[in-house]
Amino acid sequence: STTVRNVQRNVRKVLAVCGRPEIPVYRGCERPLSEPLNLADEYHGADGLGGVAEQFPTGDDAVDDSEEDDGTVEGRPVHAAERLIEMARREPGEITLLLLGPLTNAALAMTLDPRFGTNLREIFILGGNVEGRGNVLPGSEYNFRTDPEAASVVLTRAQCPITIVPWEAVVKSPIPWEVYSMMTRQDTAKSRFVRAITRYSLAYYDKVSAGGYEVGDALAVAALLAPDSVATSVEERRVAIELRGSHTRGQLVHAWTPDMLPEVERTVRIVTSFNRERVSELLMRMVV
């Protein structure tokens, strides 16, 4: 939802707030596989961090692009996809991949190394839809619409288990406003950070009259960390990505009957509902 340069800097800021600045951040692709990048400034702001990125310096904000990348090996910048491939080869069956944005880097890794999708333990994805409900097109969710070809590559080539948290599950499982208020009013650095970066998006909720704050990224993380207590409904589906269409490009389409999508053999797990109380508990623990 912002430029790759902003993403790299923003991730560093999150790591700094969480007390883990030593974790390296590898830069990924600057654009989707086959079309220009469509930014989501309306929701996340021009800097991708609610317009407050400058309030949270990490000590590297003044350096230029050529000096900024700390994802290096022997002094050579390493692309995120290259690093993913190397890690999965080194520890086959041990790495779980969490994808919270467009799937471009994962798709590139699977293209460069056909074994990448087999070497992973599993993949968790925030993206797509179940009922055809979109948020950037009438029938398309942002992450999959931003790079439909990448989503198709990942779903087609990955041989490990895949779990998807679709847009409808996010809309149906907002955290109550009173929980959001408590979460952003704690006297901790993490709480102040969350309050600052989410303030910009409150205008969006005023416009759509949401019943609470939608936390898609957090839901996907919760589904990974505590699947038994967080996910209240999970379905196995055969799915594919619509690569055409003026209103549905990037839509996650489903085999509703056995004769649909005969070319798709494997299934994915789709989380369709969450335990909102349990998610709220985890979010409160997050900001302590």
| CA gap 153, 178 in Å, rounded | 40
pLDDT at 65: 43
Residue 58's pLDDT is 76
Query: Which residue ranges in the chain fall short of pLDDT 70?
Result: 59-75, 209-210
> Quick one: pLDDT at residue 43?
82
In a domain, 98, yes or no: yes
Q: Is residue 30 part of a domain?
A: no
Residue 187 lies in a domain: yes
Domain housing 206:
87-286
Q: What is the pLDDT of residue 267?
A: 98
Tens digits of residue pLDDT in 65-112: 444 556 665 557 899 999 999 999 999 999 999 999 999 999 999 999
Domain assignment present for residue 65? The answer is no
Strands 239-241 and 122-126: unpaired
DSSP the chain: ---HHHHHHHHHHHHHHTT-TTS------SS-SSS-----HHHH-TTSSTT-GGGS--S-TTS-HHHH---EETTEE--HHHHHHHHHHHSTTTPEEEE-S-SHHHHHHHHH-TTHHHHSSEEEEE---SSS--SSBTTB-HHHHH-HHHHHHHHHH--S-EEEE-HHHHHH-PBPHHHHHHHTSSSSHHHHHHHHHHGGGHHHHHHHT-SSB--HHHHHHHHHH-HHHHEEEEEEE-EEE----TTTTT-EEE--STTSSTT----EEEEEEE-HHHHHHHHHHHT-
pLDDT for position 77:
84
Q: What is the pTM of this model?
A: 0.93
Q: Is position 62 within any domain?
A: no
Number of domains in the chain: 1
Is 265:209 a contact under the CB 8 Å cutoff?
no
Q: Is residue 31 one of the residues assigned to a domain?
A: no
According to the model, what pLDDT value does residue 71 have?
66
Tell me, yes or no, whether 241 lies in a domain.
Answer: yes
Supply the CATH number for residue 126's domain: 3.90.245.10
The answer to whether residue 120 is domain-embedded is yes
Q: What is the pLDDT of residues 123-151, one digit of tens each?
A: 999 999 999 999 999 999 999 999 999 99
